[in-house]
């Protein structure tokens, strides 16, 4: 399948809201030098098994999968990648060889880097090396999950993990769709189509999924997650414990705390923020942060939010004066706000610390 090549120049906005944007600007410009944007249609080849040269890139949009392929045509998906993920024929970059390929699951935009220049940056620049090390650590977790699946998992457990991973980019309240055929699902879990189809038939009969040409819809994500193997549930529990630890720290803060995604949606607020703004967190999470801003300055705030994400230097409270918040009942009150950008496993988020100055 063909791909469209575009000149990316040195436009760092391509990588906004990804962890790559944390690199110093001069290094980011060198990273983008000679890069090109490729558009690959769904089920097209991103990097092929037989690529003779080093290949490396960063996903800008869409979902791709990396898989191992056996000589008899069998496949085993190692991971699914989305925006910001580093993808490469890594074996070539390290001088070895491995039967790994990367294909598009959905339509994909890829920022393909000049591989040898990129490898030089990894060798010379500590910030690039740290970014790559973090990405390789995430890959290693995916490999552990794949190995554990193969060693301990039933077909039903493997199917559940792949469907949850593929449908995990939906927003709360939206349908969860895994854009995959039954044959592709079978290839992903490393089994025959008939075997995967039996597992899907059982899940469909239980009302957990619905199948359609070209995709599988997750009707009950909680029950599908309950199908995971014990080792996966334990890992999820550890992640949940860590998240609860972080939330406990935020709840103990003497100030109101609001966290916001790079898209402007509120993702969390502590109890003091609920009291300050007069909202219940269950009502506010998922709304735009401009909900907490007076109407007259909301449009300006959208631009300022974009400016902060473009240059996410922490903003201490004393640098931000003349600000006002808006309570649920519409009343306005003076506030001091401190901002910082925090990198998480689910992407970057803005942590806002708010002090109600009307309270004395």
Which domains, ranges and CATH numbers included, belong to the chain? 4-150 (2.60.120.10), 155-231 (1.10.10.10), 253-359 (3.30.450.20)
Average pLDDT over residues 27-56: 85
Q: Which of 21-35, 40-54, 204-218, 303-317 has the highest mean pLDDT?
A: 204-218
The SS3 call for residue 169 is coil
Q: What pLDDT does residue 346 have?
A: 63
Is the whole model's pTM more than 0.85, yes or no?
Answer: no
Residue 238, pLDDT > 50, answer no
Host H or E run for residue 233: helix 230-251
Structure tokens at 11: 């436009």
> pLDDT band at residue 201, thresholds of 50, 70 and 90?
very high
Among 86-90, 93-97, 175-179, 345-349, the minimum mean pLDDT is found in 93-97
Average pLDDT over residues 331-344: 83
Average pLDDT over residues 248-261: 80
Half-sphere exposure in the Cβ direction for 168 (13 Å, CA): 14
Q: What pLDDT does residue 233 have?
A: 47
Q: What pLDDT does residue 204 have?
A: 92
Smallest Cα–Cα separation from 42: which of 109, 117, 121?
109
Half-sphere exposure in the Cβ direction for 263 (13 Å, CA): 8
Percent of the chain clearing pLDDT 90 (strictly above): 16
């Amino acid at each position: 399948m063909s791909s469209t090549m575009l000149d990316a120049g040195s436009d760092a906005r391509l990588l906004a809201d990804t962890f790559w944007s944390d690199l110093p600007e001069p290094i980011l410009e060198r990273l983008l030098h000679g890069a090109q944007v490729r558009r690959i249609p769904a089920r097209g080849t991103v990097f092929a098994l037989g690529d003779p040269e080093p290949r490396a890139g960063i996903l800008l949009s869409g979902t791709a999968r990396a898989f191992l392929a056996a000589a008899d045509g069998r496949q085993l998906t190692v991971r699914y990648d989305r925006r910001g993920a580093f993808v490469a024929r890594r074996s070539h970059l390290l001088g070895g060889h491995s039967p790994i390929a990367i294909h598009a699951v959905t339509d994909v935009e890829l920022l393909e880097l000049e591989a040898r220049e990129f490898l030089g940056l990894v060798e010379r620049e500590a910030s690039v090396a740290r970014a790559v090390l973090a990405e390789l650590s995430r890959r290693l977790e995916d490999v552990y999950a794949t190995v554990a699946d193969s060693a301990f998992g039933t077909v039903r457990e493997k199917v559940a993990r792949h469907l949850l991973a593929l449908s995990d980019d939906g927003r709360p309240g939206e349908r969860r769709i895994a854009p995959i055929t039954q044959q592709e699902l079978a290839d992903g879990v490393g089994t025959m189509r008939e075997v995967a189809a039996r597992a899907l038939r059982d899940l469909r009969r239980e009302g957990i999924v619905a199948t359609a040409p070209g995709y599988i819809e997750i009707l009950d994500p909680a029950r599908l997650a309950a199908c995971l193997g014990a080792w996966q549930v334990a890992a999820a529990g550890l992640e949940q414990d860590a998240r609860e630890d972080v939330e406990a720290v935020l709840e103990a803060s003497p100030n109101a705390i609001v966290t916001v995604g790079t898209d402007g949606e509120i993702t969390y607020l502590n109890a003091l923020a609920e009291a300050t703004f007069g909202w219940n967190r269950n009502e506010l999470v998922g709304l735009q942060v401009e909900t907490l801003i007076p109407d007259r300055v909301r449009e300006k705030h959208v631009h300022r939010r974009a400016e902060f994400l473009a240059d996410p230097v922490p903003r201490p409270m004393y640098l931000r004066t003349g600000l006002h918040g808006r309570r649920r009942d519409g009343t306005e009150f003076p506030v001091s706000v401190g901002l910082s950008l925090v990198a998480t496993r689910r992407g970057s988020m803005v942590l806002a610390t708010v002090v109600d100055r009307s309270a004395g």
